[in-house]
Amino acid sequence: MRADKHRRPAKATPSSGNIFADLNLPNPEEWLAKAELARRISDLIQQRGLSQRQAAALLGVKQPQVSAVMRGLLEGFTTDRLFRFLNRLGQEIRIVVQPTAKRKQRGSIKVEAA
């Protein structure tokens, strides 16, 4: 391996905690919430030892849609649809609306697993 004495160290930018915001995508909180819901769906399918075909039958969709959710390809999925998938996997969905902290002007969206 060749040592490059003229190589500059890589520059790192701290994350905001939301990759979608870091990438300046529209509605980053919604994308993060959908990604977290999809991760939970994928975890439940794997924990149950279901094949994608079995999961598709349980969720009422076709196998390619299960594959898309498990790979995080969520463009065609609403949060409501992901909620229904979780319900079919035996999960309760609880939505809590509360005031923001005094220092924040805008609220946020968070997904938490119990």
Residue 59 sits in a domain of what CATH number? 1.10.260.40
Q: Is residue 59 part of a domain?
A: yes
Q: Which pLDDT does position 98 carry in this prediction?
A: 83
Residue 3 above 70 pLDDT? Answer: no
Task: Dump pLDDT digits (tens) for 78-90.
Answer: 999 999 999 999 9
**Token duo for residue 107:** 């609220």
Q: Is residue 64 part of a domain?
A: yes
- Out of 23-27, 58-62, 75-79, pick the least confident: 23-27
User: Which structural domain range is residue 60 located in?
Assistant: 26-88
Question: CA triplet 75, 20, 47: central angle to 5 degrees?
Answer: 65
Do residues 77 and 34 touch, judged by C-beta distance below 8 A? yes
CA-based nearest residue to 55, from 63, 102, 34: 63
Whole-model pTM? 0.78
What is the domain count for the chain? 1
Task: Dump pLDDT digits (tens) for 97-112.
Answer: 888 877 777 777 777 7
Q: Is residue 113 part of a domain?
A: no
DSSP annotation of 41 reads H
Q: Which pLDDT does position 2 carry in this prediction?
A: 58
Q: Is residue 57 part of a domain?
A: yes
Distances (CA, A) of 66 to 39, 60, 84: 12, 10, 13
Query: In terms of C-beta density within 10 A (0-12 exposed, 13-18 middle, 19 or more buried), how is residue 32 classed?
Result: buried
